[in-house]
């Protein structure tokens, strides 16, 4: 092997060249803010939930809104996943194009997208969600192909859904569905989003059991007419913390594939299960206030935050990066604010001196779903890039 060095010829044996190349890590190739993904942790998280669902004899229909990646979706397929959950018809079309044929769109139907509903219903087993009779009426009138319809029940989150004791409203919707040739009343579902505000396992357990009770009340009202009705629940905290669950046919957690600081704060996971981390270049240092500025702001992380015990806000936790991944969060350095492109870190003197301009600092995200969405791609620890729906111009 020959190299030119200041107009001189330098000869290097092949084994020396291979050694030098082996010292170049994936981190050396990172030039800008990059979302790293630890495939091993992802696979462990996927396997953990698959095993738990199998042990409880429930169907796992994972929510893909967290990763939104065809490649990550294949890891679920290899673990036995056959049906998936998505958060938009656009996302449903993306995953349908990658071979998924049993898809639940977990947001209430937007009837302005009826053309896309019919496009998808012609190709896949499409599951839709309704929370009012107007939507069901529009579906009954405009559907061209069969779809499975789920009624979303408000069991305490109060974002949307039909209250479980709104019998007149429920009866009217169910009767309308029953009269339709193309609507199949498949089940009742809920999203226990209020578990995300808890840090006590007993409180999460209580929320889950309440939801199971209320959903089964609704199912029992109609099971004589629809004996195969299913109960489906989706949230990561419940199915991460609980080991046993009954009265449920299907679970739809999603965030567990990556986890994040919010889930660690709740108690759903430990730091070692968080499978994504942002690599942020150091772009400025201010010794007069022990602050380090990184290129990593709200356009990279979103502006989600957690409240610390002292009342301050946590926008991420700093970790030490290596070619094999990252460490547990470091003590003595904090992400104290995010603006559009900048992240401000305040460090102890020892940690302030550790980093120089151009170094990479790792930061665990507060909310991995939003972080992944705004970044639009992932870089694995071997340097391979994985796609994300938001980064490929899907329309």
Which pLDDT tens digit goes with each residue over 156-175? Answer: 999 999 999 999 999 999 99
**What is the tens place of the pLDDT at every residue in 335-373?**
999 999 999 999 999 999 999 999 999 999 999 999 999
CB count within 10 Å of CB 15 equals 9
Tell me how far apart the alpha carbons of residues 247 and 215 are, in angstroms, rounded to a whole number.
Answer: 9
pLDDT number for residue 14: 61
pLDDT number for residue 142: 98
Task: Report the run of H or E that residue 377 belongs to, with start and end.
Answer: strand 377-380
**What is the tens place of the pLDDT at every residue in 92-143?**
999 999 999 999 999 999 999 999 999 999 999 999 999 999 999 999 999 9
Those residues whose C-beta lies under 8 Å from the C-beta of residue 228, and which sit 6 or more positions away, are: none
* Res. 395: pLDDT tops 70: no
Tell me how far apart the alpha carbons of residues 170 and 35 are, in angstroms, rounded to a whole number.
Answer: 44
Q: Per-residue DSSP letters for 284-333?
A: EEETTTTEEEEE--HHHH-S--EE-TTS-EE--EEE-EETTEE-SPPTTE
Q: Work out the pLDDT band at 56, boundaries 50, 70, 90.
A: very high
What percentage of the chain has pLDDT greater than the value 70?
Answer: 93
* Res. 17: pLDDT tops 70: no
* Res. 13: pLDDT tops 80: no
Do 367 and 265 form a contact (C-beta atoms < 8 A)? Answer: no
Domains in the chain and their CATH numbers?
28-36+270-391 (2.40.37.20), 58-258 (3.20.20.10)
CB count within 10 Å of CB 176 equals 17
Tell me how far apart the alpha carbons of residues 297 and 375 are, in angstroms, rounded to a whole number.
Answer: 11
Render the burial of 74-93: b for 16+ CB within 10 Å, e for the rest. ebbeebebebbbbbbbebbb
**Chain-wide mean pLDDT for the chain?**
94
* Res. 238: pLDDT tops 60: yes
Tell me how far apart the alpha carbons of residues 220 and 211 are, in angstroms, rounded to a whole number.
Answer: 14
If you count them, how many residues does the chain have? 395
pTM for the full model?
A: 0.92
Q: Work out the pLDDT band at 248, boundaries 50, 70, 90.
A: very high
Short-list 394, 367, 138, 383, CA closest to 264: 367
At 366, list the tokens.
Answer: 């507060």
What percentage of the chain has pLDDT greater than the value 90?
Answer: 91
- The torsion region of residue 267 among left (phi > 0), alpha (psi -120 to 50) and beta comes to left
Tell me how far apart the alpha carbons of residues 9 and 217 are, in angstroms, rounded to a whole number.
Answer: 82
Q: At 382, is the secondary structure helix, strand, or coil?
A: coil
pLDDT number for residue 9: 47
At 191, list the tokens.
Answer: 């999203």
Tell me how far apart the alpha carbons of residues 36 and 13 are, in angstroms, rounded to a whole number.
Answer: 34
* Res. 88: pLDDT tops 70: yes
Mean pLDDT for the stretch of residues 237-258? 97
């Amino acid at each position: 092997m020959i190299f030119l060095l200041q107009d001189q010829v330098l000869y290097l044996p092949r084994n020396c060249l291979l050694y030098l190349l082996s010292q170049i890590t994936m981190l050396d190739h990172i030039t800008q803010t990059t979302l790293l993904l630890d495939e091993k942790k992802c696979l462990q998280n996927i396997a953990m939930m698959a095993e738990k669902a199998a042990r409880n004899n429930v169907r796992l229909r994972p929510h893909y809104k967290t990763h939104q990646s065809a490649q990550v979706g294949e890891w679920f397929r290899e673990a036995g996943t056959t049906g998936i959950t998505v958060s938009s018809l656009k996302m449903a079309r993306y995953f349908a194009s990658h071979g998924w044929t049993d898809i639940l769109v977990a947001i209430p139907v937007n009837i302005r997208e009826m053309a896309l509903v019919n496009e998808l219903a012609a190709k896949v087993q499409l599951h839709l969600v309704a929370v009012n009779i107007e939507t069901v009426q529009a579906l009954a009138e405009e559907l061209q192909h069969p779809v499975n319809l789920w009624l979303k029940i408000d069991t305490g989150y109060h974002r949307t859904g039909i209250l479980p004791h709104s019998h007149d409203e429920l009866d009217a919707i169910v009767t309308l569905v029953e009269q339709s040739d193309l609507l199949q009343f498949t089940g009742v579902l809920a999203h226990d989003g209020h578990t995300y505000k808890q840090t006590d396992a007993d409180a999460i357990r209580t929320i889950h059991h309440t939801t199971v009770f209320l959903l089964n009340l609704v199912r029992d009202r109609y099971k004589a007419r629809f004996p195969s009705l299913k109960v489906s629940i989706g949230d990561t905290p419940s199915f991460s913390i609980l080991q046993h669950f009954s009265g449920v046919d299907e679970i739809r957690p999603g965030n567990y594939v990556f986890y994040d600081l919010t889930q660690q704060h709740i108690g759903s996971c430990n730091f070692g299960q968080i499978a994504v981390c942002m690599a942020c270049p150091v772009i400025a240092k201010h010794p007069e206030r022990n602050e380090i500025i990184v290129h990593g702001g709200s356009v990279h992380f979103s502006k989600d935050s957690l409240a610390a015990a002292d009342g301050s806000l946590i926008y991420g936790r700093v970790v030490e990066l290596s070619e094999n991944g990252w460490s547990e969060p470091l003590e003595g350095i904090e992400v104290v604010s995010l603006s559009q492109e900048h992240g401000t870190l305040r460090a102890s003197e020892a940690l302030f001196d550790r980093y120089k301009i151009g170094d990479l600092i790792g930061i665990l995200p507060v909310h991995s779903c939003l972080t992944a969405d705004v970044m639009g791609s992932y870089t694995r620890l071997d340097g391979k890039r994985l796609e994300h729906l938001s980064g490929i111009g899907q329309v």
